Homo-oligomer: A and B are copies of this chain.
Amino acid sequence: MNENIDINDLNTSISFFKKEVKKFVEERNWSVFHTPKNLVQAINCEAGELSQLLLFKDYKKEAIWNDETLLTNISDEIADVFIYIISLINTLKLDLTQVFTRKMEKNKEKYSSKEFNNGIYYKK
């Protein structure tokens, strides 16, 4: 029986992902590999694999959903980046929610919605 059958983005907190990744790493004695330096390198490698899936292809959501293999591959690479992020959060004993919230405050200040509301991306 799959105990995870009913979990989804609405009912799953970050602590779930942290526990799952911690258990996976510890059961394999891989903590020694999951140093901060190795993890940031790993995140960059996995991000490259994700990016490669849309290299030379500018697909919209619909085209991706129509290509089951591509959708699975993109999903798997998103997961790989996310898993290493969670492992880095575990290694550094950080709270991802607080890390996110603080950076969003900075972004809201840097890109005020008064100044950036007409589809212009960068400060002149």
Contacts and interface: CB of A to CB of B under 8 A. Distances in A.
A48 B121 CA distance: 19
Contact of A79 (B18, B76, B91, B104): B104
Q: How large is the interface on A (under 10, 10 to 19, 20 to 34, 35 or more residues)?
A: 35 or more
Given A43-B47, A81-B81, A37 B9 contact: no
A15 B97 CA distance: 12
If over half of A's interface residues share one DSSP class (helix, strand or loop), that class is named, otherwise mixed; here it is helix
B50 A36 contact: no
Contacts of A96: 9, 78, 82
Contacts of A89: 78
Given A12-B13, A13-B13, 7 more contacts: A9-B97, A16-B97, A17-B100, A20-B104, A35-B58, A45-B55, A75-B94
20 contacts: A7-B97, A8-B97, A12-B14, A14-B14, A27-B113, A29-B119, A33-B121, A35-B60, A36-B61, A42-B56, A44-B45, A44-B47, A44-B51, A46-B47, A47-B48, A75-B102, A75-B103, A76-B106, A83-B100, A83-B107
